[in-house]
Amino acid sequence: MAILSIADPDFLEDPYPAIHEHRPSGVVPNVDHGGIWLLDSDEIRGAVRDPSFLSDPEKADPEAPITKVLKAAGLSIFYMDPPRHTRIRGLVSREFSPHRVKEMLPEIETTARATLDELPGGGLIDIAATFADVIPMIVISDFLEVERELRADFRNWALTRVKNLFDPKKNRSPEFAEASRSLRGYFTRKVEMRHREPATDLIGRLVALTGVQEGDLREDEIIDLLNLMPGAGIITTADLIGNTIHALLTHPDQLEAVVADPSLIPDAIEETLRFDTPALSVGRIVTEQTELCGQRVEPGTWVRVMTAAVGRDPALHPDPDRFQIDRAHREHFAFGGGTHFCLGAHLGRAEATTALRLLLERFPKISLAKGDDVAVRRRVPGFRGLDRLMVQLD
């Protein structure tokens, strides 16, 4: 039976054989983080949405290896529960509303066009490194108003954090701690500056919400929130763009359909979220003794909910391992669910739609390069994307 270990090379290469094999048991031990994996679609729907499944690591088994990592990582609302979660999410959700994302669209489009302008007019190219990875990094740097001269450092801190967070061998390494310290120090300085020099930029708007009354945002809460954004919004969106390009190039009939009718691009992106989701799972904590797939689960147990299993469940999707844009029915939990449903879902979808539309407009004849190692998967536990994707542009 395939090993279900988040850092196992076979799992990193392709997690779906292991997911399909373990799906019938529904619950298997999480050897990397402590707690269990949940793979059954009905139980996943329940766990993601059930408000009695919580997120604050203070409520989790203190001996589980991931508890210490998440306590130290400062992941803000990701690993917070109501009423604190409700209060902070409520204060910042307007920054991610469909209206706000619409305002950002012209800038996203300019970024995507400028990134395309940097590419050659034809020939062989790594589209993951030169395009898919580039756009979300610039969009989030713009969103957080990172100064031009600090963007290279910011990129390194953000990527080191997200690439190592769920990796059992690296998430307590000095490199991870150093990147976390640097990113936090950067945002601490920015928040202090906005206290001294108020402004209407994002950090200025958040600082304006701070105060002494109950319900006001606290300074450390803003810093945690800002700290979470690069990890949440960069690699996930880069992987959505890269995985969609890869899926289209490896399913030429689907590519042809999208090039002929670009209004299908949003459907292609939804199909990627089902078929090759960038985030494989979400974390929850059981707080009352319960049963999952017939197994007793004690309070404090971490449940790593394998949301990727729903998208490939053959009971929900005929021929689940096929990328097919015009599916009559599609269900996925690529953005999680319940009270923690991804705040950046509109933004991620908008970036991916814009990137794909402009890429296919500029290079309608794009195809997968020939040869070995043209598509190289990332080795980032918890996420699924491509480090390299060689394409022929013309």
Distance between CA 317 and CA 273 in Å, rounded? 13
Q: Please report how close the Cβ of residue 338 comes to ligand HEM at its closest, in angstroms.
A: 6
- Closest contact distance (angstroms) between CB of 127 and ligand HEM is 17
| CB of 373 vs ligand HEM, minimal distance in Å | 26
**CB of residue 370 to ligand HEM, shortest distance in Å:** 29
Q: Could you give the residue ranges of the DSSP H alpha helices within 23-173?
A: 41-49, 65-73, 84-92, 98-117, 127, 134-143, 151-164
What span, in angstroms and rounded, lies between the C-alpha atoms of 3 and 8? 7
- Give the residue with the Cβ less far from ligand HEM, 234 or 368: 234
User: In this complex, which beta carbon is closest to ligand HEM, that of residue 162 or of residue 255?
Assistant: 162
- State which residue, 226 or 393, has the beta carbon closest to ligand HEM: 226
Q: Which is nearer to ligand HEM, 46 or 338 (CB)?
A: 338
Instruction: Provide the binding-site residues for ligand HEM, judged by CB under 6 A.
Output: 48, 77-78, 89, 140, 228-229, 232-233, 236-237, 240, 278-279, 282, 334-338, 340-344, 347-348
Q: Which of residues 66 and 393 has its CB atom nearest to ligand HEM in the complex?
A: 66
Cα–Cα distances (Å) from 289 to 36, 39, 56, 72, 338, in that order, read 14, 19, 17, 27, 20
Smallest distance, Å, CB 342 to ligand HEM? 3
d(CA 277, CA 336): 11
Q: Among 362, 359, 353, 361, which Cα is nearest to 389's?
A: 359
302: its two tokens: 């971490």
Smallest separation, CB 369 to ligand HEM (Å): 25
**Distances, alpha carbon 304 to alpha carbons 47, 170, 226, 272, 298, in Å:** 10, 19, 24, 21, 14
With respect to ligand HEM, which residue has the nearer C-beta, 305 or 375? 305
